[in-house]
Chain A
């Protein structure tokens, strides 16, 4: 266990240093940053994106991509909102919300594995179709849910809300799956080289299918948390989140070509982006600059990550 922790710190040292750097920088620049209320603000903003990025991380590890997560979040949230406004019970609505997510993931996975169509294209199609369905179901109108979801959004420990705790538990669970189960090792094997994985007896199709279903399910869970957070179901919820999820996963050390990455790294990626977002607001950086800076951080993080890998490589050879 001890070595695990040390290994983990070694693995993620770049990200942790980056995060500490941001915290120190913003604390120096703004007198309001280094406070408990800022900490609470940051952590309560991330649960839904954390779930999306976790799913994305696993999909990236098997060498795929899921562009539909934002739309699936929107669609499952819309279904949840409609059922709740029609006075169905909370359990029914949440169940339907999860079913939608799982169905979307199943569809993605099925098409990808059945007809060998690139995941990029399949999930891009799902992104459009899902958003269209969301608008159809909601009539493009925000459904206000009042206090119906407060029992999910409100409970908190010292201001840290239940959604974050739930999301962190999910992250740890998926991390456990990836590291300690055959399924996780199969994911890495498929991402490294699908052909080899297949030849060594891994049921590639089944694993891929399960990965897309997981991503769809996590997106619908994120949809639930998103609705709870806004006390309403917004037909435009999740637009562009696929890119935030990919950015967080990539900062967290996941490779777009598969076979490499970690869910915990992705979580750090999410925290780094959220810290950056809140920090930039607190030191009142103009809006366009925020985007320039966020873009630079994404690219820099990946360069540093690759660079770190290279040094190791040199050392081995020398």
Chain B
């Protein structure tokens, strides 16, 4: 019996190892081709390091970048990396270090933290790697302390948020109670969007009764809004700093039967939010052309590599999305 058992275990183990090896091969089969091409022509290698690839916004950004790469595959090679959630700063630092170790020519980065990523970017620049900042702007003060300049390519979030905010504000009356559901409070985008909402609120004399933090996440925003509506049922409008949180807010409002009394706006124009705008459940959102954000960064990096100069910051467009 024992010997039989042992044989069985052995077979099963071999089977597992084979599956594992197969997985490894399937999952990295693509790279082999890339490498062959690479050997023939020396093309610049650009690393795109993003935040959460589980977030549709960054997924769209990634797809945009990959498409651009496919159309320009003779000009450069693209490496795309992301982290598992937007809070994992250490992992993002690791990725930048790995890219330095791999001696890429340029890094296009959407930093998970606007301060903590500066030192590692500085290290990359010291190795002669060109660093371009997209999405979340690195802290100006920290950049100055480190005596480096990293060009930022991206939209003006404050302006965009103000436009979305004004669209909501115009549909409310002076003195109406409103709430802000903010993103991770340390993130530059979150700070800028909140300021944009505050601009709109001030300009229209609305009454801000809650300034909460939803960490960019749907489930957190859902919980916050549920709690908020029991506490302050008079709220007429909710400004969410991204669409995921707006979706969470809307489902909380539906569950509490507040849907027809409260208007919600978001930011990013992810596809689920877009549908809700068409349905009229989400009043408005802003499109900062996610699919182009990384591409702008990559094009800038290519330009830098060609000319050898570091260009200035560049502002990219933000559009207001409302029901047609």
List chain A positions with a Cβ less than 8 A from chain B: 25, 29-32, 35, 37-38, 40-41, 44-45, 140-142, 144, 146, 226, 229-232, 234-237, 239-240, 277-278, 280-289, 291-293, 296-297, 300, 303-304, 307, 310-311, 314, 317
Cα separation A226 to B90 with both chains bound (whole Å): 8
Cα separation A146 to B6 with both chains bound (whole Å): 58
Option from A45, A284, A314 in Cβ contact (under 8 Å) with B97? A45
A38-B101, A142-B115 are known; give 19 further A-B pairs, CB within 8 A. Answer: A29-B28, A29-B31, A32-B102, A41-B98, A44-B97, A142-B89, A142-B186, A144-B115, A230-B89, A230-B90, A232-B115, A239-B88, A281-B98, A286-B27, A287-B82, A293-B24, A296-B20, A300-B20, A307-B13
Indicate if B185 sits at the interface (CB-CB under 8 A).
yes
Cα separation A144 to B118 with both chains bound (whole Å): 10
Interface of B is mostly: helix
Option from A230, A234, A300 in Cβ contact (under 8 Å) with B119? A230
| B28 touching A229, Cβ below 8 Å | no
Closest to A274 in B: B94
Q: Which residues of B contact A45 (CB under 8 A)?
A: 94, 97
Q: Which residues of B contact A141 (CB under 8 A)?
A: 185-186
Option from A25, A289, A303 in Cβ contact (under 8 Å) with B16? A303
Q: Which residues of B contact A289 (CB under 8 A)?
A: 23, 27-28
Q: Which residues of B contact A236 (CB under 8 A)?
A: 87-89
Interface string of B12-55 (1 = CB under 8 A from A): 01001100100110011011101100000000000000000100
Q: Which residues of A contact B103 (CB under 8 A)?
A: 32, 37
Shortest distance between the CB of B4 and any CB in chain A (Å): 12
Indicate if B74 sits at the interface (CB-CB under 8 A).
no
Cα separation A268 to B315 with both chains bound (whole Å): 48
Q: Which residues of B contact A146 (CB under 8 A)?
A: 142, 145
Shortest distance between the CB of A72 and any CB in chain B (Å): 16
Interface of A is mostly: helix
| B27 touching A234, Cβ below 8 Å | no
Q: Which residues of A contact B27 (CB under 8 A)?
A: 285-286, 289, 292-293
User: B231-283: which residues lie under 8 A (CB-CB) from chain A?
Assistant: none
Indicate if B172 sits at the interface (CB-CB under 8 A).
no
Q: Which of under 10, 10 to 19, 20 to 34, or 35 or more describes the interface residues of B?
A: 35 or more
Residue contacts A-B, CB under 8 angstroms, 13 given: A37-B103, A41-B98, A141-B186, A142-B116, A144-B116, A144-B139, A229-B90, A231-B119, A232-B116, A284-B79, A285-B27, A292-B23, A310-B9
Cα separation A213 to B103 with both chains bound (whole Å): 42
Q: Which residues of A contact B142 (CB under 8 A)?
A: 144, 146
Q: Which residues of A contact B229 (CB under 8 A)?
A: none
Cα separation A300 to B116 with both chains bound (whole Å): 36
Closest to B26 in A: A289
Indicate if B135 sits at the interface (CB-CB under 8 A).
no
Cα separation A134 to B9 with both chains bound (whole Å): 47
Shortest distance between the CB of B100 and any CB in chain A (Å): 7
Cα separation A146 to B100 with both chains bound (whole Å): 21
| A41 touching B101, Cβ below 8 Å | yes
Q: Which residues of B contact A311 (CB under 8 A)?
A: 6
Indicate if B212 sits at the interface (CB-CB under 8 A).
no
User: B128-177: which residues lie under 8 A (CB-CB) from chain A?
Assistant: 139, 142, 145
| A37 touching B100, Cβ below 8 Å | yes
Q: Which residues of A contact B97 (CB under 8 A)?
A: 41, 44-45
| B28 touching A284, Cβ below 8 Å | yes
| B89 touching A234, Cβ below 8 Å | yes
Indicate if B105 sits at the interface (CB-CB under 8 A).
no
Most buried by B among A280, A286, A303: A286
- Say yes or no: A32-B90 contact (C-beta < 8 A), given A142-B116, A234-B113: no
Q: Which residues of A contact B93 (CB under 8 A)?
A: 229-230
Option from A25, A144, A284, A287 in Cβ contact (under 8 Å) with B53? A287
Q: Which residues of B contact A229 (CB under 8 A)?
A: 90, 93
Indicate if B81 sits at the interface (CB-CB under 8 A).
yes
Q: Which residues of A contact B28 (CB under 8 A)?
A: 29, 280, 283-285, 289
Option from A144, A281, A285, A314 in Cβ contact (under 8 Å) with B95? A281
Q: Which residues of B contact A287 (CB under 8 A)?
A: 53, 81-82, 84
| B139 touching A284, Cβ below 8 Å | no
Indicate if B213 sits at the interface (CB-CB under 8 A).
yes
- Say yes or no: A291-B20 contact (C-beta < 8 A), given A37-B103, A142-B115, A307-B13: no
- Say yes or no: A41-B100 contact (C-beta < 8 A), given A231-B119, A234-B113: yes
Indicate if B2 sits at the interface (CB-CB under 8 A).
yes
| B23 touching A293, Cβ below 8 Å | yes
